[in-house]
Structure 1
Amino acid sequence: MKKYFLLTLLFATSTGISAQNTNQPDSKMSFGVKGGYSLSNMKFFDNKLNSKSYFYIGIIGEQPISSKVGLQAEVLYTQVGGKDSYPLVQLVGNEIVEMGDIKFDYQLTQIQIPISAKYYFIPNLSASAGMNFGINVSKKVKTEQIVNGSTSHDYENIKSINLFPFLGLEYKIDNNFFVDARYHFNFIGINKGSSDTKIGFLQAGVGYKFQ
């Protein structure tokens, strides 16, 4: 008897949700593509590196919960990191001679999965908050000069997945096109060791949702 009651309750609940979604034309999940510009900043303890520019591109999906609230998930390809330089010196006889600067480019190539909750102030303008899961597919430090026999080295002691909490805004130009921007905070360290290494970054771009 209890089994049949649970099945009946489940059927009634499913029917109610389906009927509610039918009455709300905007409740259908939407998909799209997006891309844009990324600007990241990297810190070793209190030492802030020079910013790094890159692009991002990916796909998105949004599920409305109500007329004001929605959930969004994305899959993006991008790169974050920072740049720095150190003086290169050489001992010539009894003198130390400056040979210029050696530049380091820290590159974390990532597949990012941002998941966020969105709130629509008006039908075309929304704010979002969420967490971006950055899966590192490549971790490199590159230099213009040869260092230890190569210009590219593995960036060691970096976590496989980095977490970036973020806040953002989105504006719908029409039913298909939109622009958005979000900032990812450097609250969580990206490294496994004791050194405190963090990255924060801005993403701003355009997108297209299929109807």
Structure 2
Amino acid sequence: MKNLCMAVVITASSLFSVTAQNTNPTRDVQFGVKGGVNFSTITGDNFDDLDSRTSFNAGLVAEIPITERFSIQPEVFYSGQGFDIKEIDQDNVFDTDQNIEYQLDYIQVPILAKFYLVEGLSIEAGPQFGFKINEEIDSQPNSDGGDTDISNENSSVKDFETSITGGLSYKFTNGFFISGRYTYGLTNLFDDDSILKNVDAKNAVAQVGLGFMF
């Protein structure tokens, strides 16, 4: 709950500051909802045997125009991240498709600069701030059960991360939009006082989705 409150405060502050600087009255501030699919993993030292975890994202978005082609776009959304650990058959030949999921779920708060290349089509990039809200291991991802929660006391993963994110989106005249985005972590995943402190590991997430601006 504390992390969620921090995320809301950051986004609200961003909305207030950029709205006050809106110099383009011909375009109104818009608010909307979004959702999509995540393909997440971690990059760094010796993580070649990991598979990506498939999950989802869902949340809120705003677009504050600064000029005719340039906007600031803050967002707040839930993001299911983490990775899959491959389970290999006894002969070590192929993946059994019974992978173990290491689930790292976040409230993500990106603050994006958005530039329209042509009407509807835009590129967007900026910093993103992540607040970990859940960490667990799912040993039976294809069925119910198998979930093991990891408490903060037993976790080696940081509660907060910073990332850089960027992608493309297209907004239709009826308010619907589609987007594709890639996010790469700038913060090392593991706590500085854990046994994994010297392991280079960062979150990496590819997202595709759609939304609607009101």
Count of matched residue positions in the alignment of Structure 1 and Structure 2: 176
Q: Which ranges of structure 2 fall in alignment gaps of 5 or more residues?
A: 1-20, 91-95, 141-145, 192-196
1: CA distance between counterparts of 2:127 and 2:80?
Answer: 17
Q: 1:151 to 1:120 in 2, by over 3 A?
A: closer
- Aligned pairs (5 A) from 1:185-196: 185-192=184-191, 193-196=197-200
SS state of the match for residue 158, structure 2?
coil
8 Å CA contact retained: 1:83, 1:106: yes
- The amino acid across from 1:109 in the alignment is D
Aligned position for 1:180: 179
Aligned position for 1:12: none
Matched, 1:204 2:200: no
Matched, 1:104 2:100: yes
Matched, 1:34 2:34: yes
2: CA distance between counterparts of 1:127 and 1:151?
Answer: 38
Whose strand proportion is higher, 1 or 2?
1
Deviations 1:101-121 (A, max 9, x none): 984311011111111001111
SS state of the match for residue 66, structure 1?
coil
* Larger radius of gyration between Structure 1 and Structure 2: 1
- Aligned pairs (5 A) from 1:41-56: 41-43=41-43, 45-48=45-48, 49-56=50-57
SS state of the match for residue 139, structure 2?
strand
8 Å CA contact retained: 1:88, 1:102: no
Aligned position for 1:77: 78
- The amino acid across from 1:47 in the alignment is F
- Aligned pairs (5 A) from 1:5-24: 21=24, 24=25
Shift of 1:156: 1.5
Q: 1:194 to 1:128 in 2, by over 3 A?
A: same
Shift of 1:173: 1.9
SS state of the match for residue 185, structure 1?
strand
Shift of 1:175: 3.8
Q: After TM superposition, what 4+ stretches of structure 1 lie above 6 angstroms from structure 2?
A: none
Q: Which ranges of structure 1 fall in alignment gaps of 5 or more residues?
A: 1-16, 90-99, 145-149
Aligned position for 1:171: 170
- Aligned pairs (5 A) from 1:121-140: 121-140=117-136
Aligned position for 1:114: 110
Q: 1:102 to 1:67 in 2, by over 3 A?
A: closer
